[in-house]
Structure 1
């Protein structure tokens, strides 16, 4: 997963913290049912749901909540489907607590399922970015996300990063990035299965320093003299998808970008030091690509999950057949387990990626994004802007990591929950398939000690690894 782009590695993980493990619904006076099956009473009588009552809603529309339930009035009471419904509600990010219980119905054989929720603040900080590098003495940014717009379950998000003019070139254009999006996770058009829909836009103006040697003379004296590529990107995306299951999404995304890049050498004496530079066409160009994504997420809690996993498989194709100037393909596979591995409070993280053809640099892999820290000039990017002197983007990536969690507290108040994460991660990357490892840093391994906090305005991460990255 990408490194957190802040001086203290403060970043939000759009959280939906849950309550304690779910007890099975208490059915009035029946005999125990088989695990995961319908509840049966004496003499094999099965209980049916007379109605479902939702309690505790103040901002969220009741109809929006009911769409996510896996049970309905008239169904046979099924413990497993009730528990899965509770998990589904917690994953929405709208509630800090979801509890279920069963009460007697109006007549024998009928029961009432009561779902009691505690709503959480859904306008949260999604990015908090600030840092400093030699080429950019200070940069910072902020992101906000509304996860339940108008109580209808729609998502709105926006973020920016601003760095100003690069060091040594006060008259140059400022570097900045803007991003915004709208997402509807569950649309129910007539005669069609539930659909997922989203649109987003992005604008970036940045540059990449391109000295072939990380110890380039310009980096030791005056960054303004270093050869570089200045670029801007204006991008838009449209996503349409469906849910094969309650915890799965199958998405298709079309992306179009209008690009402009210019190679700049202010010092003829240093022009010979120019390396191959990031892959991008000089002048105006277009990118047109289709991306297919399969995602499954069965974790029981976003902040401190103890069961389940999250997996993402993604394939991207860019082609002149779609109206673009870049012919390439990109593949990415990610897996993340909950903090329950081999009976320990461990989380396993795996990622593998490859890019083929003439993929532009931002469709390749910047290894520092996937490390806790790097020993050398590379630094994790902020909203895809690179403020370091390292411009190596690779075609092949592999990452593996483990994290151990130490719960610290769980109580009310602003800092609702907190735990300590101790992690280690290894990153391998290569400039081309079959090539040797790119020496992104002197060490391919990194470690982290992070305090993670659950608050009403988001989940924050204070990382020692990222703080070290600014000095190594």
Structure 2
């Protein structure tokens, strides 16, 4: 690997990387994070008449009891006041012929159920009631079991929306014996956020005399309003700015289009990109014919670099449906025009000890690409950005075919699972386990392939599906993975530890540190049958190490992450 020069300026700028999920969210406070107790304590375990007064009832950690407020005078009835301790299942809640009405077995805890009279939303000054209620899977007349895990799921899903700082649930007395009101009390948060911010130094060719690539700055930014006018509609604008590449994307998503159970997503994008191919490539090129008299060839062309210049003009139209229990399905169609004004006539590169031609995986001139994407999503994390517990699953299937009018024919299947586990020695300490894998079949354009930049933490990630850097990650294990910058087989396993540093309020809510690492693999399917020549033993397996460590700042305008491992990408490791 060729040596790389460090910039003279302070290299923290080169490593700075900011990102956020749907929205920044304050770490769940102790009073709201407990998974014990719940509505059972708040609604039914009240004191007998000769015991402590109602206002002495201790609130549950997960659900704070809320007084019924029919009038502005001082409340005098605590939640569940009209249900006697021996009336666990009132006659007007569960019919006598319902099997659930049978007495519980000896020693078993009696189920506690009520008829839900209504759901009441409080604290939503900006957000419409129906936006909150769509996260509540219960309706008036339902039999409510206070031990139903869907009740706790309401709180997590509302926090996961990114609309609210805190969410508290409780039961209030209804209009008749055995009837209750489910109270959802929220505290709203700022929803105009920096959803993604990445800035740094990327490596590429600057002039024809370069024997190595130069470093130039880049900026990637996404601004979003995740709750437009309190309707739950999300709007976002993304962009990439650099001397070599530019891109822009605009997105719209209505989670309940026209009041239906289906969402509507719309997007438009434009990419003006460059893709670097090969290592020490031998290239045959010609300047584009539409240059003005006296206009020089692009530097990458004259420098005999295997570079493809391309532009993408595209739309995306999609919909989704909630499956309940924190799961949903999505289906998107993405038509686009791909224009390739400059591409090498031919190029070859070293693959191990052999010289092989480079497949640029793109049509010359202008071509049409039509892609369908089917997605399954599951998310029960307790926080959308800095979770302490929960599971996130994303499974995607991308397909393109001449049946859809496309000039390309491929199928891409990929998925990710992440699991956060809280540690017992302190609130906020957690371990995150992750696994990712994917396979690609057919003749997909190169930007649909799997990239080392998306698998390794040691070089800048792609932005708007564009590589901002022509480097390969450090080959720490000295394996054949160094021969691949992209491929049609990919995988990664990793683990990360998160520890709290600061917990506060206002503009800076929390600061936490993280460190982690793992293994990633990148290859072509043909390498499974015919390994890269020149490698022996374990070095033939295309795997390598990746790691990262840094600090995350949870603020009122987004969660910002400063990762220091990117600095190591500028060094020879």
TM-score normalised over the length of structure 2 = 0.70
Q: For residue 100 of structure 1, report the CA deviation from its aligned partner.
A: 1.5
- Residue aligning to 1:172: none
- Residue aligning to 2:33: 21
- Residue aligning to 1:208: 275
Q: For residue 353 of structure 1, report the CA deviation from its aligned partner.
A: 0.5
1:259 aligns with 2:341: no
- Residue aligning to 1:145: 224
1:177 aligns with 2:262: no
SS in 2 for 1:47: strand
1:428–1:258 CA distance, 2 compared to 1 (3 A): same
Q: For residue 96 of structure 1, report the CA deviation from its aligned partner.
A: 1.1
Distance in 2 (alpha carbons) for counterparts of 1:440 and 1:209: 24
Listed one character per residue, the Cα deviations across residues 317-372 of structure 1 (whole Å, up to 9, x for unaligned) are 11111101111110101101123489982111111101111011111101221211
Judge conservation of contact 1:319–1:325 (CA < 8 Å) in 2. Answer: yes
- Residue aligning to 2:467: 386
SS in 2 for 1:291: strand
1:99–1:470 CA distance, 2 compared to 1 (3 A): farther
Judge conservation of contact 2:400–2:409 (CA < 8 Å) in 1. Answer: yes
The 5 Å alignment of 1:115-194 reads 115-135=184-204, 137-164=216-243, 166=244, 175-187=245-257, 189=259, 194=261
1:8–1:431 CA distance, 2 compared to 1 (3 A): same
- Residue aligning to 1:310: 392
Listed one character per residue, the Cα deviations across residues 113-140 of structure 1 (whole Å, up to 9, x for unaligned) are 2221110111110121212123251111
Q: How many residues align?
A: 438
SS in 1 for 2:415: strand
Distance in 2 (alpha carbons) for counterparts of 1:76 and 1:139: 56
- Residue aligning to 1:331: 413
CA RMSD of aligned residues (A): 3.1
- Residue aligning to 1:467: 567
Distance in 1 (alpha carbons) for counterparts of 2:254 and 2:570: 38
Unmatched 5+ stretches in structure 1:
32-38, 167-174, 217-221
1:197 aligns with 2:197: no
SS in 2 for 1:70: coil
1:295–1:282 CA distance, 2 compared to 1 (3 A): same
SS in 1 for 2:567: helix
1:365–1:271 CA distance, 2 compared to 1 (3 A): closer
Q: For residue 153 of structure 1, report the CA deviation from its aligned partner.
A: 0.7
| Greater C-alpha radius of gyration | 2
Judge conservation of contact 1:127–1:144 (CA < 8 Å) in 2. Answer: yes
SS in 2 for 1:335: strand
Greater shift after overlay, 350-359 or 272-281? 272-281
Of residues 296, 303, 317 in structure 2, which corresponds to 1:225? 303
1:241 aligns with 2:344: no
1:56 aligns with 2:70: no
1:414 aligns with 2:507: yes
Of residues 278, 289, 292 in structure 1, which corresponds to 2:374? 292
SS in 2 for 1:196: strand
Q: For residue 151 of structure 1, report the CA deviation from its aligned partner.
A: 0.7
Greater shift after overlay, 434-443 or 319-328? 434-443
1:134–1:43 CA distance, 2 compared to 1 (3 A): closer
Judge conservation of contact 1:210–1:226 (CA < 8 Å) in 2. Answer: no
Distance in 2 (alpha carbons) for counterparts of 1:43 and 1:111: 14
SS in 2 for 1:60: coil
Listed one character per residue, the Cα deviations across residues 3-36 of structure 1 (whole Å, up to 9, x for unaligned) are xx973121122234444315513115559xxxxx
Distance in 2 (alpha carbons) for counterparts of 1:315 and 1:369: 18
Of residues 71, 86, 92 in structure 2, which corresponds to 1:42? 86
1:347 aligns with 2:440: no
Listed one character per residue, the Cα deviations across residues 187-222 of structure 1 (whole Å, up to 9, x for unaligned) are 3656xxx11221111110111233542799xxxxx7
Greater shift after overlay, 304-313 or 104-113? 104-113
Distance in 1 (alpha carbons) for counterparts of 2:495 and 2:324: 29
Of residues 476, 499, 516 in structure 2, which corresponds to 1:423? 516
SS in 2 for 1:90: helix
Judge conservation of contact 1:7–1:470 (CA < 8 Å) in 2. Answer: no
1:66–1:443 CA distance, 2 compared to 1 (3 A): closer
Judge conservation of contact 2:370–2:406 (CA < 8 Å) in 1. Answer: yes
1:401 aligns with 2:494: yes
Q: For residue 433 of structure 1, report the CA deviation from its aligned partner.
A: 4.8
